[in-house]
Amino acid sequence: MQSKLPNVGTTIFTVMSKMAQDYGAINLSQGFPDFDCPPRLRELVAAHLNDRKNQYPPMAGIPSLRQQIALKVRDYYGYDADPETEVTVTSGATEALFDAVQAVVGAGDEVIVFDPAYDSYEPAILLAGGKTIHVPLSLPDYAMDWDRLEQAINSKTRLIIINSPHNPCGSVLSRDDFDRLAALIRDHDILVLSDEVYEHMVYDGEKHESILAHSELREKSFAVFSFGKTYHATGWKLAYCVAPESLTTEFRKVHQFVTFTTSSFVQYAIADFMAECPEHTLELPAFYQEKRNTFCELITPSRFTFTPSNGTYFQLVDYSEISDRNDIEFANYLTQEKGVAAIPLAPFYAEPPATKIIRFCFCKDDSTLEKAAEILCKL
C-alpha cells in the first residue's frame, strides 16, 4: 500500500516525551504543565459529570459555551462573533487546524507556512491535496520576512497559516504585521488560518494581537484557540475556531465527520468557569511571565545563551558554547545522558538552518525547573 504521508513519522513531541520517560529525564520537551488546572474548574467538571451530562452535545458545541466564547472574543478583541454561525467547539486545536485546512484547500492549492512551523500543518495540507510552501522566519528574532512572503504568493496560493504567539519560537506578531499581511493579500483570493492557542501568554507589558481584532483580515480568516493551554488541561483536548459564517459553514462540514463533537460535561464546566472566573485569563500573562523569569534566572549561570521569550511557555536557548552536535543529537544526549528533555528545532523546518538552538518548556512547578536548571548549569 502506498502511504499518503510517506515522509511523516512520529511527531517529535511524542518521541521526546517517550525518551524522557524511558530514561527518567525531567521532561521540559512537550508543552504540558506538571501542575493541575484550577480547583473550581475541577469541581465543575465533576458536578456536570455527576449531573448526567454524558450524551452527545450539539455538533458545534453547547450553546452556553459558544456564548461565553463570543463574549470573550468581544471583550478581548472587539469583535461581535455570532455564537450560532461563527463559533465552533472542537476536540483540541489540532483538530480545528486540520478541519480548517480540509475545508478550503484542494488539489494543487498552495499553502504558505513559516518555518520553523508547527508540525501538524504540513500533513493536513498534504492530505487535502495541497502543496506546502515554506517561508523561513528571519533570524535571530524569528520575525516575518515580508519580502520572501511576497515572492512566495502567486495565483495558486490559497491559504497562509500564521502562528502567534509562535510555537516553537515564542515570537509575537504586532498590529503592524497584520496590517502588512492585509496589504499583501488584499488583491488576492487568499485566506488566513491564525493559530492563536497561546493567546494569553504574552509578556513584558505587551498584548496579544488577534487576527479577530483586524477588521479586514478577520473577514477572510479562521482563528483557532485552546482551552487546554489556557486552563492547564491539555489532556482534555478542547478548543474552538472563530470564523465568518461562510467559512464556518465549510469548517463544520469537515468537523462533523472528524470528531462530530467533544466531551459534553467538560464543555458545560468550562462554560460555567468562564462566567464565574474571568480573572483566570486576565492573570495568566503574569503567572507565566513569572515562570519564564524564574527559569531564565535559574539558567543564567549556565553556558546556554538566550533572549527571554516574548510569548508562549517555551524558551529557546543556544547551546553553541556547550556542544558541536546538531540539535537532534544534542537533545538526545541531553535527555539520555544528562536527564533533561528538550525539543530540537530541525523537525519544524523544511531546510533547517545551521544553528544550535533547542526549546525548553517552562510551564512546570518551580521545583521541577530548579532540578532541571541544576543539571543544565553543570554542562
Task: List pLDDT tens digits, range 130-149.
Answer: 999 999 999 999 999 999 99
pLDDT over 90 (residue 47): yes
User: Average of pLDDT values for 369-375?
Assistant: 97
- Domains of the chain, earliest start first: 12-30+280-376 (3.90.1150.10), 54-276 (3.40.640.10)
Q: Is the pLDDT of residue 2 over 90?
A: no
Q: 166: buried, middle or exposed (CB in 10 Å: 19+, 13-18, 0-12)?
A: buried
For the cut 90, the answer to whether the pLDDT of residue 163 exceeds it is: yes
Quick: pLDDT tens for 205-219: 999 999 999 999 999
Q: Cell for 124?
A: 493536513
Q: Is the pTM of this model over 0.85?
A: yes
Q: Where in 261-366 does DSSP place strands (E)? A: 314-318, 340-341, 343-344, 357-361
pLDDT of residue 8: 83
Mean of the pLDDT values across residues 102-112?
97
Question: Dmax of the chain from CA atoms?
Answer: 58
pLDDT at 290: 98
Is residue 97 over pLDDT 90? yes
* CA 196 from centre of chain: 6
pLDDT of residue 123: 96
Residue 295, pLDDT > 90, answer yes
For residue 187, pLDDT beyond 90 = yes
CA distance 77 to 115: 27
- The three-point CA angle 25-379-306 to 5° equals 95
What are residue 202's phi and psi, to 5 degrees? Answer: -125, 135
Q: Give mean pLDDT, residues 56-65.
A: 97
